[in-house]
Amino acid sequence: MFTHLNTVSYYSFRYGVASPSALAQKATELAMPGVALVDQDGLSGAVEFFQACSMYGVKAHIGVNLPLVTHNKTSRFIALARDSSGFKALNRLITAHHEVGLTFDVLETIANLLSVDTGLVILLGPESQLAECIFQGQYNVANQVISRWQKTGFDVRPEIVSHRTEYVANQRTSLYSTYFARQYFRWSIDCSLQPVLSNAVRYLGTKQARTADVLDATRNLTTLSRSNVSKRNQEACLYSETHMQKLAVEITGDTTTAQKLLMHTHQLAASLEVTSDTLGIGKVFLPELSVIMNSSAHTFDTRWDSSPAKPLTLKQQESETHKANQLLRDRCLRSYSQYQQTEESNSRLDAELDVIFGLGFSTYFLTVATIVDSIKAKGIRVAARGSGAGSFVNYLLGISVLDPLQYGLLMERFLSPLRNSLPDIDIDVESHRRLEIYDDISERFGSQRVAAVAMFDTYRVRQAIRDVGRALGIPAGEIGVFAKAFPRIRARSIRDALEEFPELRSSNVAKLAQTGQLNRMLDLVEGLDGLPRHIALHPCGVLISDASFIDRIALQTSNQGFPLSQYGKEDVETLGLLKLDVLGIRMQSAMSYAIDEVQRTQAQAIALDAIDFADSETFELIQSTRTLGCFQIESPGQRELIGKFAPDTFNDIIIDISLFRPGPVKSDMITPFLEGRHGWKEIQYLHPRLKGILRETSGVVVFHEQVIRILSEMTSCSFAEADLKRRQFGDSDQIRSLRAWFYSSGLKNRFDLDVIDRVWDILVSFASFGFCKAHAAAFAIPTYQSAWLKHHFPAAFYAGVLTHDPGMYPKRAIVHDARLHGVPVLPVDINKSASDYRVEAHLQSWAVRIGFSDIKNISEDEVDSIVSQQPFRSLYDFYQRTYVSFTQVEALISLGAFDSLHTHVTRRDLLLHLHEITKQPTDNLFVFEPDIEPSGLAEFTLSEKLQIEIETLGIDMSAHILELYRETLGRLPITYAQDLLSCRSGQEVLVVGIKVSTQTPPMRSGKRVIFVTLDDATGPIDITFFTDMQDAYAQTIFSSSLLLAKGVIRRTGPRGISLRGTGCWDLQDVSGDNLSVVSLAHHKSALSAG
């Protein structure tokens, strides 16, 4: 009966190799009674490990490997939890390690604070101070160390390890030799200690050992060599009991003594009891009501040594719950008094409150409401997202702005009396102010109760290639090119990617791989797949809990200085913690910026959350498909869909968002919907009794809410039950019993068998891709708001979008969209530009002025120094008063930023002038501003200007970049975007443009297509290249930015158009001499097509 007490997973970052689940699985295969997880510095793997062990039926032991500082030297020890007091101590130890570092004093403080005693087991292995003393032969010091440890009251055990390395005096690897293990073991026995045997496990088996070597090299930022790799062999495996018995004999020297060592180990393992209760699995820990209602701020400097919380008595808990229910009801009724009350709304409110009270979640809603109030009070835009928009209580609390009754949204999809799990409320806020909100929450609830959710940055293909490359000693430049050739995919898919992706298939890397020369490299890259590299702040999750938080969750501090739980997203849910997803949404920032700009320039306040959701002009804009920059509806695919759909109500936008998803697109739900919608075909309802449910989507099932209603109507079950049944559709184990239930209840409710058959088929196929209407509705709000802003305040809208960059298009594409939309975009001007994009009055209208901050390599300080000193009289004045580097001044001149100050000279003159100014002595106070004389140097040509603009700003300010090719293009039969709509289906056209985006999504067959979007100054053009064209043109598509492409038109609706690519060339290659190649090619195919 052997139990490994020292096992690490890959949550020992860049050290361990196996996943926690794999360790549990392997221990089961080896028929071990249990296995411990003792990762370095944290418990990130603990929940996964515990759950996997429960599943496999092995006992999980939880511990951690931590550094201890004594006399300025760092050594390591392992702490294992024996019971719940030990587990609390573990969390404190880890938090203390990250806050102050561990010393014996800190250990003792924690021991006393929590009365831990033998609840914590300490293992002192080869990396410990004790082993070091024995190794150095300092037996007196060893005795002192052991008595210092025993003073803590913890159960202290020497940990005997042999990785069968060579013993060489004074060489640290000898600490893992059998020779030293025997020495350490004998000393322990002589001191009457009870040593235990472990194998300091780092990987499952020898197959993973090379990965461990690569991690060693990566951790040390070096290449693979004996001095950088911590091991000499591959013995840190999760070995079997038989192997460990053999090892015990090897170490102790005889079988009897070996048995004793094994028995100590077994007895210790048997005494460790960590249960799901210890971890807090299956419980809910909400903040105390007094904390929620108390608006005063909390501050705590340290967390590790604060006094532990006293648990509430049952009676106290009951009175808290009662108070919370009362408070929630009061808050709801307060805003309900302003609501246009109906019979329906009355019963809806009562029903929702009943469910919330029944689940005991009042505190949860009060917490979220408090936070939303406080965000609003700071003037930050906030909007609920997800199924939470389906709750009337959320609406009344001001968490969501949409009335669920008006749009037929259901609470049951969000919160159900039949599921006892905390609901998820996600809120969207302005992205650039997200951390401000974190701080606010932390202050409000006290930093002892608040932490961010962790996220693990895991190895994907590019980073894996870089690290393997460095370990193997391949030059950084070479490996960088290799890594960048890959799209952002999993490391384990590297071999498939080389065959599958059009941009790789034709590359040199793929050719080299075919020769087999890259096999070792590829193996190692695959070996790193999915390994977490380090812990990071999750982009949105915040945990809010009660005072017992710090005893249940180990905390560290994120790079941004925010307290960070060591657990990931799924784990914190398992641990019953209130997780609020605060998502930073750039579009919210962009809209907020636009509103501020309108206020600043036009003194007009816009209440964006109160605008009319039935504004016909906004719908005209949406129908025109000129929706670049708008939330959710700017992609080529969405523009095609809204062109065909022509939404004219807010509900239509909800439908549009739900339809534009892979499932509905793939199963072609869109066609029957559009046919019904436009009256091309008569709508077929499944049954007259279902007509009311399906009318809004022309008889097609689109929403989860519709499924719930259909199930309820046909089986007479409640919505809550119907939602549970709906969730079972995806589960193949449950589908049989579900079918029996549906058929029998349907027949009982007097539905015909053929109707039941048809509905069943639809529900089964729908299950995989339906969408929650509340979720879509929440998305539809910023979609509509952004379109509304684009129509009514276009200049402010573009300024916001350009400043916060929320969408998929490069800024230069947005700039040209602004021009097409009648909003002039003005160049950088030294006196008129600000840091960001600003709205500016221009020729009786409004324009957008480009700001300084997008200039390449300009620093924030430089921008500040310009903006704070504005206005300037001249270049000389500017140079005297700002701290801008010489190259940046040159860049500003070249961009024309000084043109308005010096109208009579050219930019070349100004550059010359700049050189003269800098040559002036700086110590003379009586220097006069020198005059600028026209030197006769010519002004930059348009072509030069554009080149500079693209290089330093990324935006072609002066004109569209295609202007440079005007002459070439004039000689070709080009069709421009604005004229594509007048082409007929099947017609072959030649198009041109700057590449705006490329995507390579897989088709149903698994093969990939290339989607390219070009911008030709009159609008966007979307082209699809299928597999047959990829060998010839993929290289060009991915390597060139100015493209000339040939394609065949396909009409998909009145405003719908798509192009199937049949050829593609780099515009720069075909201009000039070899122009004839393309035009001939084009001409010939045009002939054959005709």
Partner 1 sequence: MTKKLDDPIDLHMQDGVPARFRWRNRIFTVQRIVMYWIDVEPWWHHDYEHDVTWHIWRVEVRCLAQCLTLDVAYRDSLLSGNAFPWRIVRIFD
Query: Which residues form the interface with partner 1 (CB under 8 A)?
Result: 164-167, 177-179, 206, 209-210, 213, 224-226, 229, 232-235, 250, 471-472, 520
Q: Are 305 and 110 in contact (CB under 8 A)?
A: yes
User: CB of 475: closest distance to partner 1 in angstroms?
Assistant: 16
Q: Is the peptide bond before 871 cis (omega within 30 degrees of 0)?
A: yes
Q: How far is CA 713 from CA 553, 706, 745, in A?
A: 45, 10, 10
CA distance linking residue 115 with residue 119, whole number of Å: 9
3-class secondary-structure state, position 625: coil
User: CB of 520: closest distance to partner 1 in angstroms?
Assistant: 8
Residue closer to partner 1, measured from CB, 219 or 681: 219
Residue type at 389 in one-letter notation: A
CA distance linking residue 22 with residue 45, whole number of Å: 11
Q: How far is CA 556 from CA 102, 453, 541, 560, in A?
A: 14, 11, 15, 11
CA distance linking residue 125 with residue 130, whole number of Å: 8
Residue closer to partner 1, measured from CB, 244 or 830: 244
User: CB of 527: closest distance to partner 1 in angstroms?
Assistant: 13
Q: Are 719 and 707 in contact (CB under 8 A)?
A: no
Residue closer to partner 1, measured from CB, 231 or 432: 231
CA distance linking residue 469 with residue 461, whole number of Å: 12
Q: How many CB atoms lie within 10 A of CB 861?
A: 10
CA distance linking residue 168 with residue 431, whole number of Å: 57
Q: Are 939 and 907 in contact (CB under 8 A)?
A: yes
User: CB of 129: closest distance to partner 1 in angstroms?
Assistant: 25
Residue closer to partner 1, measured from CB, 165 or 387: 165
Residue closer to partner 1, measured from CB, 236 or 1029: 236
Residue closer to partner 1, measured from CB, 89 or 209: 209
User: CB of 211: closest distance to partner 1 in angstroms?
Assistant: 12
Q: Are 166 and 123 in contact (CB under 8 A)?
A: no
Residue closer to partner 1, measured from CB, 373 or 523: 523
Question: Phi and psi for 303 in degrees, rounded to 5?
Answer: -115, -30
Question: Phi and psi for 87 in degrees, rounded to 5?
Answer: -70, -40
Q: How many CB atoms lie within 10 A of CB 958?
A: 18
Which residue is listed with tokens 């070479």? 478
Residue type at 985 in one-letter notation: S
Residue closer to partner 1, measured from CB, 421 or 519: 519
User: CB of 778: closest distance to partner 1 in angstroms?
Assistant: 53
Residue closer to partner 1, measured from CB, 95 or 178: 178
User: CB of 128: closest distance to partner 1 in angstroms?
Assistant: 22
Rg (CA), the chain: 34
Nearest to 261 by CA among 166, 167, 161, 179: 161
Q: How many CB atoms lie within 10 A of CB 18?
A: 24
User: CB of 300: closest distance to partner 1 in angstroms?
Assistant: 50
User: CB of 167: closest distance to partner 1 in angstroms?
Assistant: 6
HSE-CB at 496 with a 13 A cutoff on CA atoms is: 11
Residue closer to partner 1, measured from CB, 234 or 906: 234
User: CB of 165: closest distance to partner 1 in angstroms?
Assistant: 6
The DSSP output letter for 308 is P
User: CB of 645: closest distance to partner 1 in angstroms?
Assistant: 57
Question: Phi and psi for 838 in degrees, rounded to 5?
Answer: -120, 150
The DSSP output letter for 938 is P
User: CB of 260: closest distance to partner 1 in angstroms?
Assistant: 21
Question: Phi and psi for 59 in degrees, rounded to 5?
Answer: -75, 135
User: CB of 243: closest distance to partner 1 in angstroms?
Assistant: 13
User: CB of 65: closest distance to partner 1 in angstroms?
Assistant: 24
Give residues with Cβ within 8 angstroms of 1070, minimum separation 6: 968, 1044, 1077, 1078
The DSSP annotation for 562-605 comes to -EEES--HHHHHHTTBEEEEEEEEHHHHHHHHHHHHHHHHH---
Residue closer to partner 1, measured from CB, 3 or 208: 208
Residue closer to partner 1, measured from CB, 164 or 842: 164
3-class secondary-structure state, position 200: coil
Residue closer to partner 1, measured from CB, 229 or 351: 229
3-class secondary-structure state, position 557: strand
Residue closer to partner 1, measured from CB, 179 or 976: 179
